[in-house]
Structure 1
Amino acid sequence: MKLNWKIKASIAAVLIIGAAVYGYQYYQGQQEAKKAAAVETVPVTRMNVKSTVSATGTIKPVNSVEVSSKVTARIKEVLVKENDTVTAGQTIATLDAKDYEEKRNQAQYKVTNTKAKYDRVSYLYSIGAKTQSDLEDAKMNYDTALSSLAESQSNMSEMTIVAPMSGVVVGQPQTAGTMAVQGNSSPTVIMRIADMSSKQILAKVDETDIGNVKVGQSATFTVDSFNGKTFTARVSKISQTDTSNSWNVNTSSSSSSSSSSASVIYYYVTLDVDDPENVLLPAMTARVEINTAEKNDALVVPLSTLKTDTHGSYVIVKNDDGTQENRYVSTGIYSDEYVEILEGLSEGEQVVSTYVAKASTTSSSKKNDRGGPPPM
Structure 2
Amino acid sequence: MSQTETETDIESYLDEGKPKKWYKRKRVWLGVILLILIVLAISQCSGGDERPNYVTAEVETRSLDLSVTATGSLRPTNQVEVGSEVSGRIDDVLVDVNDQVTRGQVLARINTEVIGDQIRQSRANLNAAVARVAEAQATLEADEAQLDRLLEVQRLSDGRVPSQAEIDQAQAAVNRGRASVAAARANVSSARAQLSSAQVSLDRAVIRSPVSGVVLARQVEPGQTVVASFNTPTLFVLAEDLATMQLRVDLDEADVGQVEAGQDATFTVDAYPGRRFPATVERVDLASNNIAQIGQQQQGGGQQVVSYEARLVVSNGDGLLRPGMTATATIATDSTGEQMLVPNSALRYDPEEEEEGGGIFGDPGFGLDRTEEATIGVGSRQSVYVVEEDGTLRAIEVVTGRSDGRFTVVTSEELEPGMEVVTGEGIGSQ
TM-score grouping bracket, smaller chain normalisation: 0.7 to 0.9
The letter of the residue matching 1:74 is R
Q: Does 1:143 align with 2:189?
A: yes
Deviation at 1:329, TM superposition (A): 1.3
Pair 1:121-2:121 in alignment: no
Whether the 8 Å contact between 2:341 and 2:410 is mirrored in structure 1 is: yes
Paired residue for 1:347?
416
Match 2:335 to one of 294, 318, 332? 294
Q: What TM-score, normalized to structure 2? A: 0.67
Cα drift, residue 183 of structure 1: 5.4
User: Is the 8 Å Cα contact of residues 68 and 182 (structure 1) preserved in structure 2?
Assistant: no
Deviating more after overlay: 158-167 vs 41-50: 41-50
Higher mean C-alpha deviation, range 317-326 or range 337-346: 317-326
CA distance in 1, matches of 2:427, 2:244: 58
Task: Give the letter aligned to residue 344 of structure 2.
Answer: L
- Asked if structure 1 preserves the Cα contact closer than 8 Å seen for 2:88 and 2:225, the reply is yes
User: Once the 2 structures are TM-superposed, how far is the Cα of residue 176 of structure 1 from its aligned partner?
Assistant: 1.4
Query: What residue is the counterpart of 1:264 in the other structure?
Result: 305
- 1:273 shift after superposition: 1.3
Residue number among 275, 284, 301 corresponding to 2:325 in the alignment: 284
- Which amino acid letter does the alignment assign opposite residue 65 of structure 2? K
Partner of 2:328: helix, strand, or coil? strand
Specify the alignment match of 2:67 in structure 1: 52
Query: 2:93–2:108: 8 Å Cα contact kept in structure 1?
Result: yes
1:251-297 deviations in Å (ceiling 9; x for gaps): x4767x545x1x32211111111323111111111112222223554
CA distance in 2, matches of 1:355, 1:229: 33
Conservation of the 8 A alpha-carbon contact between 1:216 and 1:236: yes
Aligned-pair identity in percent equals 25
Aligned positions of 1:79-90 closer than 5 A: 79-90=94-105
Does structure 1 residue 314 correspond to structure 2 residue 382?
yes
- Larger deviation: 47-56 or 218-227? 47-56
Cα distance in 1 for partners of 2:192, 2:142 equals 26
Does 2:234 align with 1:189?
Answer: yes
1:1-376 paired onto structure 2 within 5 Å: 41-128=56-143, 131=176, 132-182=178-228, 186-194=231-239, 195-246=241-292, 249=295, 252=296, 258-259=301-302, 261=303, 263-295=304-336, 297-306=338-347, 308=374, 312-316=380-384, 318=386, 324-332=394-402, 334-341=403-410, 344=413, 347-348=416-417, 350=419, 352-354=421-423, 356=425
Aligned equivalents of 2:120, 2:414: Cα separation in 1? 91
Q: 1:278 to 1:355 in 2, by over 3 A?
A: closer
Give the letter for the 1:62 counterpart.
Answer: T
Deviations 1:351-375 (A, max 9, x none): 6424537769xxxxxxxxxxxxxxx
Count of aligned positions:
321
Listed one character per residue, the Cα deviations across residues 166-206 of structure 1 (whole Å, up to 9, x for unaligned) are: 0001123411122223356x421111110212111111111
Separation in structure 1 between the aligned mates of residue 393 and residue 327 of structure 2, nearest angstrom: 49
C-alpha spacing 1:39/1:112, structure 2 compared with 1 (3 Å): same
175-184 or 64-73: bigger deviation: 175-184
How has the CA–CA distance of structure 1 residues 99 and 253 changed in structure 2, closer, same or farther, with 3 Å as cutoff?
farther
Q: What SS does the aligned partner of 2:274 have? A: coil
- Over 3 Å counting, the alpha-carbon distance change for 1:121 and 1:312 in structure 2 is same
1:222-266: CA deviation from partner (whole Å, max 9, x where unpaired): 1111222221211111111111114763xx4767x545x1x3221
Instruction: Identify the range of structure 1 (55-64 vs 303-312) with the bigger mean alpha-carbon deviation.
Output: 303-312
User: Tell me, what secondary structure is at the counterpart of 1:89?
Assistant: coil
- Cα RMSD over matched residues? 3.0
Contact 2:397-2:412 within 8 A present in 1 as well: no
Q: Distance in 2 between matches of 1:44 and 1:288?
A: 29
| Deviation digits for residues 69-109 of structure 1 (CA, Å, limit 9, x no counterpart) | 12222222111111111111112221111101101100000
Deviation track 1:106-162 (CA, whole Å, cap 9, x = no partner) reads: 000010011011111112101217623322332232222122112112211212211
Per-residue CA deviations over 1:317-364 (Å, capped at 9, x if unaligned) read 5497877344131413x224211235656533636424537769xxxx
Q: CA deviation at 1:48?
A: 4.1
Of 143-152 and 175-184, deviating more is 175-184
Q: In structure 2, what is the Cα distance between the partners aligned to 1:183 and 1:208? A: 46
Unaligned runs of 5+ in 1: 1-30, 361-376
SS of match in other structure, 1:240:
coil
**Which whole-Å CA distance do the structure 2 matches of 1:154 and 1:82 have between them?**
28
Whole-angstrom CA distance in 1 between matches of 2:341 and 2:327: 31
Indicate how the Cα distance of structure 1 residues 269 and 345 shifts in structure 2: closer, same or farther if over 3 A, else same.
Answer: farther
Q: What is the TM-score normalised by the length of structure 1?
A: 0.76
- Taking structure 1 as reference, are residues 312 and 188 closer, same or farther at Cα in structure 2, changes over 3 Å only? same
Deviates more, 1:92-101 or 1:298-307: 298-307
Find the aligned partners of 1:258 and 1:77 in 2 and give their Cα distance: 56
* 1:26 corresponding residue in structure 2: none
Q: Select the structure that is richer in strand.
A: 1
